[in-house]
Structure 1
């Protein structure tokens, strides 16, 4: 990796004066109805899937997916941005420890991430758990205590155990930094039943659930959290030729700093300052969106609709964008990206997915951009 600018928070190796749910990110299963797959440890396939389903392609992972197989997808490795370097991501609670193991990320201590402190940090975003890399590590030879880099992880597991996701990102770089994500449909649910997918060929369905993500930046260091509500609409009868119409919306997103302090309003104020006359007066005002409790929220994430977004295995890949609206009728695109998802269940009852969106950060100059990586699990209503 050549473009990541190392560390804004530490100067070299300075001596330092409820529920994650489930057991682990399930490793691939074998036997009837499964294909082996991978959980991101590099054991089988390390290249993106060559697909005829249009753009965007699916992330790397399971090479021969079927409706009745476990499917594992992970972020493609990007040497310029640092994405996709986190591998072998596992949730550990075999002794009740509530921890995460993350491999192949330098300067994150002993690879073990512990649950965030609900008083001094963030432990939970909606129904998803938040984990922190160790702040220090020890030289095993001299015993010297060394500072580490800032890493955070979000873990989500469905109520059935059929699907789950994990996201790892760093706030210690003035580029996006090293990290990764994984999302998957498991081979077995929490009751030990094999997970199957039966896709309807008629009717429409609405899915709702939680969304949570991490924001990192180019042009500055730091890390922020975002949480909100996810909604997906699936048209099982159209498009024709075996394709399904899908649409993802993410609304009511609120922004928090790394310590859990809400900063949504400050961000929106900056977003609305983008058009001033020579005398300093504002020529337009941002139209504020609010949630059910009246809290200001970030602009809604909306889908790009295409006839080849979903396939017969229940896998989905499509583009998204964020639009900020102003009181004079003008709009600006404040973010764009891609989302990936997998449908699961005999009744197509749940969907797990991850999105990655980038845009200019209005609080700083045009050289500063954000990358938001968020996960969602939604259930058929």
Structure 2
């Protein structure tokens, strides 16, 4: 299967096709609003960079934290991310050799997961500012996800963006951002289930290259339990990424090749990629609607032994009165496909409570 340019332009989601404000611009709290605090749940020191004093009454913005880990020290360098609906272009600052910081709609891959998410790419060449000689650029791709719900100001209720490069032996430089534009009403009882899709990028620590990923996503929340020992929130959060597919940079479905890599390296006979699931436990959701936890997947090899395939983290924000949608990002790694190479998937997701 190949993706083509038939994906729906994001400007059709935006009032007047005028574009959205830069990530983080509309997600700061109003100093006149009262209330806030985490109300138990996740430790605020574990939150990614972004909104300094989050509150359920306002929007929240988060970005990928920087890292000192070997191979991952390019995390969080992508800044100034914004989308222009009038020109269907994406602006990214902070990354070297990505053209003039303006990313065009991708070709041949312009969208992922049946057009639900849009793909943008940096220029392949950029002119010398004196001689006009073409300078070859590094491979960069950006994925943009936007809520189907638009507020009174013409802004999406939630959105995310991911930028990665396949031009380094390590992971290279990139980043992700995610945000909600407005408030959230956090229930004190009951349960909720949200469904949607994801799209992401796979890069490698140990070799170059980029791959795309897609999945179906379901997130369920128990607002009654767990009971939090601190007197705050202890809500249980369950998430599943299923029907996972992998595509090469030209949009060809290479899921079978990925499965062959896993099977050959690990004496396994998998016929589909393992589902990735949130680890369920207390202390992952706070009163501002932010959730942070761990995510993993596993498989059974030919000897009947269960093995961990991937391990990582999820980051999410709830939005709306019910609440009625969630935006988030997962970062999950595996060392099961290659010798001396770690594979990292960074996928964004938006899920809604109603179909």
- Class of the TM-score when normalised by the shorter of the 2 chains: 0.7 to 0.9
Structure 1 length-normalised TM: 0.79
Given that 1:56 and 1:338 are in contact with CA atoms closer than 8 Å, whether structure 2 keeps it comes out as no
Which residue of structure 1 lines up, in the alignment, with residue 265 of structure 2?
Answer: 274
One of 236, 240, 255 as aligned partner of 1:264: 255
Given that 1:204 and 1:237 are in contact with CA atoms closer than 8 Å, whether structure 2 keeps it comes out as yes
Structure 2 length-normalised TM: 0.85
Q: After the TM superposition, which residues 196-207 of structure 1 pair with which residues of structure 2 at under 5 Å, given as runs?
A: 196-207=183-194
Query: Are 2:179 and 1:179 aligned?
Result: no
Gaps of 5+ in 1: 1-17, 36-48, 187-194, 277-284, 290-297
Which residue of structure 1 lines up, in the alignment, with residue 349 of structure 2?
Answer: 376
Larger Rg: 1 or 2?
Answer: 1
Runs (4 or more) in structure 1 with deviation over 4 Å come to 32-35
Rounded to whole Å, the distance in 2 between the matches of 1:155 and 1:300 is 23
Shift in Å, 1:328 = 4.4
Rounded to whole Å, the distance in 1 between the matches of 2:170 and 2:247 is 20
One of 51, 55, 77 as aligned partner of 1:66: 55
Shift in Å, 1:329 = 2.8
Aligned in 2, Cα 1:214/1:302: closer, same or farther, shift over 3 Å?
same
Q: After the TM superposition, which residues 114-193 of structure 1 pair with which residues of structure 2 at under 5 Å, given as runs?
A: 114-117=104-107, 120-126=108-114, 127-160=116-149, 161-186=156-181
Rounded to whole Å, the distance in 2 between the matches of 1:34 and 1:183 is 22
Given that 1:286 and 1:324 are in contact with CA atoms closer than 8 Å, whether structure 2 keeps it comes out as no
Rounded to whole Å, the distance in 2 between the matches of 1:124 and 1:352 is 17
Which residue of structure 1 lines up, in the alignment, with residue 152 of structure 2?
Answer: none
Deviation digits for residues 254-278 of structure 1, max 9, x if unmatched?
A: 00000001110111122112355xx
Rounded to whole Å, the distance in 2 between the matches of 1:55 and 1:72 is 14
Q: After the TM superposition, which residues 167-316 of structure 1 pair with which residues of structure 2 at under 5 Å, given as runs?
A: 167-186=162-181, 195-240=182-227, 241=231, 242-275=233-266, 285-289=268-272, 298-316=273-291
Which residue of structure 1 lines up, in the alignment, with residue 97 of structure 2?
Answer: 107
Query: Are 2:331 and 1:342 aligned?
Result: no
Which residue of structure 1 lines up, in the alignment, with residue 81 of structure 2?
Answer: 89
Worse-matched range after superposition: 53-62 or 139-148: 53-62
Rounded to whole Å, the distance in 2 between the matches of 1:315 and 1:183 is 11
SS at 2:292 equivalent = strand
SS at 1:274 equivalent = helix
Given that 1:217 and 1:368 are in contact with CA atoms closer than 8 Å, whether structure 2 keeps it comes out as yes
SS at 1:268 equivalent = helix
Rounded to whole Å, the distance in 2 between the matches of 1:325 and 1:206 is 28
Rounded to whole Å, the distance in 1 between the matches of 2:274 and 2:110 is 23
Gaps of 5+ in 2: 1-7, 150-155
Which residue of structure 2 lines up, in the alignment, with residue 357 of structure 1?
Answer: 332
Given that 2:164 and 2:201 are in contact with CA atoms closer than 8 Å, whether structure 1 keeps it comes out as yes
SS at 1:265 equivalent = helix
Rounded to whole Å, the distance in 2 between the matches of 1:316 and 1:323 is 23
Rounded to whole Å, the distance in 1 between the matches of 2:33 and 2:128 is 43
Aligned in 2, Cα 1:55/1:252: closer, same or farther, shift over 3 Å?
farther
Q: Greater helix percent: which structure? A: 2
Given that 2:126 and 2:136 are in contact with CA atoms closer than 8 Å, whether structure 1 keeps it comes out as yes
Rounded to whole Å, the distance in 2 between the matches of 1:330 and 1:302 is 19
SS at 2:264 equivalent = coil
Which residue of structure 2 lines up, in the alignment, with residue 7 of structure 1?
Answer: none
Aligned residues: 320
Which residue of structure 2 lines up, in the alignment, with residue 41 of structure 1?
Answer: none
SS at 1:237 equivalent = coil
SS at 1:272 equivalent = helix
Rounded to whole Å, the distance in 2 between the matches of 1:249 and 1:228 is 9
SS at 1:238 equivalent = coil
Given that 2:42 and 2:284 are in contact with CA atoms closer than 8 Å, whether structure 1 keeps it comes out as yes
Rounded to whole Å, the distance in 2 between the matches of 1:92 and 1:147 is 25
Computed over aligned residues only, the root mean square deviation of the Cα atoms, in angstroms, reads: 2.1
